[in-house]
C-alpha cells in the first residue's frame, strides 16, 4: 500500500478488510490527471464567461447583491426568495445564506461578473475534489479515478454554462454529489468526512428547498451507520483503540462545529425574525398545497435517470426522458429497470458482506437510501399541476452518478477476488490507464460552450451596462432610492442594475414584499428612508416620453428601420389571423412537447387570437405556428423582432419621493 493510502487503512481496518492492491505511485499520478480532466471544464467555462463580459442578471444578480451584503452592512440571514411562496400563501425563503457567504470575498476582489462566476466555479471544483479524495481514502486511487471519470460525465451532461451559474436550482448539484460521497465515507466509519458532509449538505439544503428531505434523511442514515461502525470497530480492535477513538472524537467535533457555523444565521433569523423562516418552512410542508406528482410520476423520474441508459449522461439533462408526456417510457420498463438495479445491488452487497468488504456494503446501502429518499421527494413535491418540475429534481443526476459509481466499484472488487494475483496486477494497471484516458476524453467533450438552461440572459448584459452608464451618474447625489420594477424585462435587468447602485454606494429600498424577501427586510421602504423613486419599465411604455417623471436612462431594443419592419410585418400577421379566425398551430410540433408545454401553448394561442402579439410571437419563435398559413409573410422574422423589442427596450424613470414626516410622541 502506498504511503498516501496508509491513513485510510488505519481507519478501514476496524471495520473490515478493505485493503486494495498495492498501488504504485503511477496510480496516484493517473488519478491526479483524471481529476484535472474533470475540473478543467469548470475553470475554462468560468474564465471564458468572464472574458466575454458575463454579468449576473435576473435571479443570478441576487447572489451578487447579497454576496456583497456579507461585508456591507446588510448581512444576509437567509437564502433567496422561493417560488413555493406562491402556493404556500406566505413568504418563504430558501433556508440559508451559504451561497452568498461563499461569493462574498470573490465579489469584493473581482467585481460582479468574475466574482460570481469564479465563486460558483470554485465551489463546484471543490465539490469534485472532495468527492474524489473521499473515494480515494475509502478504496484507493483506482476507485477514485473511476469516480472522477463518472463526475466528468455529469459535468459534460450539465453543459459549460451551468458550471458557473449561481442559480439556486443548479448551484447545489455538484456540492450534493460531494455530500453523497461524504455520507458513504461516514457510513463506513470515517469520521474525517463529517466536516465535508456537514458543509456540502448544508450548502445544498440552504441553497434550494428541494433538498429538504434528502439532506436530513441521508445525514441521519450516515449518523446511525457511523455509530454502528464505531461500536463494531471497538469490539473488533482492542490494540490502538484509544488513538482511533481520539481521532473519531476530534473529527466528529469538527463536524459539529461546522454544523453550528453553517446554521447560526438561519437559527438567529428564526429566533429574531417575524416570522421565523424555518417555522414557515415547516408550516408550508404540512399544509395542504397543490397536487403532488405522486408515485407514478416519481417512478418515471427516478427510474429513467437511475435505471435506464444513458442514466446521468447526455442528453438526459437537456431532454429528460420523464419530462415529455408524449415520449414517456412504459412504467413496466421503468419498474423492470429499477428491479434489475436492485437485484444487482443486493447480490453485490451479499458478496461484499461475505468478503467482509464493509466499505462497499456501506456504499451500496447509501445508494439505496438516496434512491428511496429521492423517490419520496419527487412523489410528495408541491406541484401546481401535479407533474414533475425538472428543475426541482436535478439532484437525481448526482444520485444516479453515485449509484453507478458504487455498483461498478463493487463489480470490479468482486471480480478481483476471483482473479490470480499476477493477472490482477496487470488488469489493475490497464484499468487505471484506460479510466484516465476516458476521463480526459469526457473532460474534453465538456469544454466547448453548451447552454443547457442558464438563468443568465445574454441579451440583458449589454442592456444593463448601458442603463448603468446613463443612470448611475444621475443618481449619485439622489440616493437612497426607492426601486420599482414595472415590466417583465425589468425583472431581468432590474436586479443587475441594483448591484451597480450598490457598487457605487447608492442605497436602495423597495415597497414590494417579494422584492423585499430577495433583498432583505432591512431594505423595506418605511415611508421615510428614500429620496428618489426610480422605476424600471420596458417596451412601449419605455419608448414613450413619460409624464410626471424624468427618463434618466433609455435603451431601445431596435433601431428605427428594424422597428418599422416589425410594425409592417405585424400588420400583415394580425390581418391573417383575423381572416383565419384562429391561430394555426403545428400539430406535429405540439405532439413533441411535454404536457406542461402543450398547456402553455394552448393558453398562448387563446391570448394570441384576441390580439396578444407577444403570445403569438412566442409561439412562432418556438416553431409551433404553421408557417404555410401565412404565405409570404416572414412570421419568424417578425416574432424575433417583437421578442427583441419587448425584452430589450428598457428605461429608468426618476422622480422625487414624497416621504412621510416622522412623528414623535409628545412627552
Query: Is the separation of the CB atoms in 635 and 653 below 8 Å?
Result: no
Among 173-177, 217-221, 348-352, 473-477, name the one with the lowest average pLDDT: 473-477
Looking only at the bridges linking them, the beta strands covering 481-485 and 532-538 are parallel
51 three-state secondary structure: helix
Predicted confidence (pLDDT) at residue 119 exceeds the cutoff of 50: yes
524 three-state secondary structure: strand
pLDDT in tens, 137-159: 999 999 999 999 999 999 999 99
Listing DSSP states for 322-374 in one string gives TT-STTPPPHHHHHHHHHHHHHHHHHHHHHHHHTT-HHHHHHHHHHHHHHHHH
Q: Decide: pTM greater than 0.85.
A: yes
The answer for residues whose C-beta is within 8 angstroms of residue 566's C-beta and 6 or more apart is: 558, 638, 641, 642, 645
Among 5-19, 154-168, 230-244, 278-292, name the one with the lowest average pLDDT: 5-19
Question: What's the average model confidence in pLDDT over 398-421?
Answer: 89
In DSSP terms, 656 is beta-bridged to 532
Quickly tell me which residue has 484506460 as its cell: 434
Most confident of 7-16, 202-211, 224-233, 514-523: 202-211
Mean pLDDT for the chain? 87
Quickly tell me which residue has 460525465 as its cell: 153
Question: What's the average model confidence in pLDDT over 183-198?
Answer: 95
Predicted confidence (pLDDT) at residue 2 exceeds the cutoff of 60: no
Question: What's the average model confidence in pLDDT over 118-147?
Answer: 96
Amino acid at each position: 500500500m502506498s504511503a498516501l493510502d496508509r491513513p485510510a487503512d488505519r481507519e478501514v481496518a476496524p471495520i473490515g478488510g478493505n485493503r486494495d492492491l498495492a498501488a504504485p505511485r503511477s496510480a496516484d499520478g493517473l488519478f491526479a490527471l483524471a481529476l484535472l480532466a474533470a475540473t478543467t471544464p469548470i475553470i475554462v467555462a468560468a474564465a471564458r464567461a468572464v472574458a466575454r463580459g458575463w454579468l449576473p442578471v435576473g435571479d443570478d444578480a441576487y447572489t451578487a447583491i447579497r454576496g456583497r451584503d456579507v461585508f456591507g452592512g446588510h448581512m444576509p440571514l437567509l437564502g433567496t426568495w422561493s417560488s413555493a411562496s406562491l402556493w404556500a400563501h406566505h413568504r418563504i425563503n430558501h433556508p440559508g445564506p451559504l451561497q452568498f457567504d461563499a461569493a462574498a470575498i470573490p465579489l469584493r476582489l473581482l467585481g460582479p461578473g468574475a466574482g460570481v462566476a469564479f465563486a460558483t466555479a470554485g465551489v463546484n471544483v471543490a465539490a469534485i475534489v472532495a468527492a474524489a479524495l473521499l473515494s480515494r481514502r475509502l478504496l484507493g486511487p483506482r476507485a477514485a479515478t473511476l469516480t472522477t471519470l463518472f463526475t466528468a460525465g455529469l459535468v459534460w451532461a450539465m453543459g459549460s454554462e451551468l458550471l458557473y451559474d449561481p442559480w439556486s436550482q443548479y448551484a447545489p448539484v455538484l456540492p450534493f454529489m460531494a455530500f453523497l460521497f461524504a455520507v458513504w465515507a461516514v457510513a463506513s466509519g470515517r469520521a474525517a468526512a463529517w466536516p465535508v458532509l456537514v458543509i456540502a449538505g448544508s450548502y445544498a439544503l440552504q441553497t434550494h428547498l428541494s433538498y429538504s428531505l434528502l439532506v436530513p434523511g441521508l445525514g441521519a442514515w450516515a449518523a446511525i451507520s457511523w455509530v454502528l461502525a464505531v461500536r463494531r470497530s471497538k469490539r473488533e480492535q482492542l490494540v490502538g483503540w484509544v488513538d482511533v477513538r481520539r481521532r473519531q472524537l476530534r473529527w466528529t467535533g469538527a463536524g459539529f462545529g461546522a454544523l453550528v457555523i453553517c446554521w447560526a444565521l438561519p437559527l438567529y433569523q428564526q429566533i429574531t425574525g417575524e416570522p421565523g423562516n424555518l417555522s414557515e418552512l415547516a408550516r408550508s410542508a404540512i399544509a395542504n398545497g397543490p397536487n403532488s406528482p405522486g408515485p407514478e410520476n416519481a417512478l418515471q423520474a427516478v427510474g429513467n435517470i437511475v435505471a435506464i441508459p444513458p442514466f446521468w449522461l447526455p442528453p438526459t439533462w437537456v431532454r429528460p426522458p420523464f419530462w415529455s408526456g408524449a415520449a414517456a417510457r412504459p412504467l413496466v420498463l421503468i419498474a423492470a429497470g429499477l428491479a434489475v438495479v436492485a437485484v444487482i445491488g443486493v447480490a453485490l452487497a451479499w458478496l461484499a458482506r461475505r468478503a467482509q468488504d464493509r466499505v462497499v456494503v456501506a456504499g451500496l446501502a447509501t445508494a439505496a437510501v438516496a434512491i428511496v429518499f429521492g423517490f419520496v421527494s419527487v412523489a410528495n413535491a408541491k406541484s401546481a399541476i401535479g407533474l414533475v418540475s425538472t428543475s426541482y429534481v436535478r439532484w437525481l443526476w448526482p444520485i444516479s452518478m453515485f449509484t453507478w459509481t458504487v455498483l461498478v466499484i463493487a463489480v470490479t472488487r468482486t471480480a478481483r477476488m476471483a482473479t490470480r494475483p499476477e493477472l490482477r496486477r496487470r488488469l489493475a494497471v490497464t484499468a487505471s490507464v484506460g479510466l484516465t484516458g476516458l476521463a480526459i476524453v469526457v473532460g474534453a467533450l465538456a469544454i466547448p460552450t453548451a447552454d443547457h438552461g442558464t438563468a443568465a440572459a445574454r441579451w440583458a448584459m449589454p442592456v444593463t451596462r448601458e442603463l448603468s452608464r446613463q443612470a448611475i451618474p444621475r443618481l449619485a447625489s439622489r440616493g437612497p432610492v426607492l426601486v420599482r420594477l414595472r415590466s417583465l424585462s425589468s425583472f431581468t435587468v432590474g436586479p443587475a442594475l441594483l448591484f451597480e447602485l450598490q457598487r457605487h454606494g447608492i442605497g436602495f429600498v423597495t415597497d414590494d414584499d417579494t422584492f423585499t424577501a430577495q433583498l432583505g427586510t432591512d431594505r423595506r421602504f418605511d415611508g421615510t428612508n428614500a429620496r428618489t423613486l426610480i422605476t424600471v419599465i420596458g417596451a412601449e411604455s419605455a419608448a414613450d416620453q413619460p409624464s410626471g417623471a424624468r427618463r434618466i436612462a433609455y435603451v431601445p431594443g431596435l433601431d428605427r428601420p428594424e422597428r418599422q419592419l416589425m410594425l409592417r410585418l405585424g400588420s400583415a400577421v394580425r390581418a391573417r389571423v383575423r381572416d383565419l379566425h384562429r391561430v394555426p398551430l403545428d400539430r406535429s410540433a405540439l405532439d413533441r412537447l411535454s404536457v406542461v408545454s402543450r398547456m402553455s401553448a394552448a393558453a398562448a394561442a387563446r391570448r394570441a387570437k384576441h390580439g396578444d402579439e407577444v403570445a403569438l410571437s412566442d409561439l412562432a419563435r418556438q416553431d409551433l405556428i404553421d408557417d404555410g398559413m401565412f404565405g409570404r409573410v416572414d412570421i419568424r422574422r417578425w416574432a424575433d423582432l417583437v421578442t427583441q423589442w419587448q425584452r430589450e427596450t428598457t428605461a429608468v424613470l426618476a422622480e422625487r419621493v414624497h416621504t412621510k414626516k416622522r412623528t414623535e410622541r409628545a412627552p
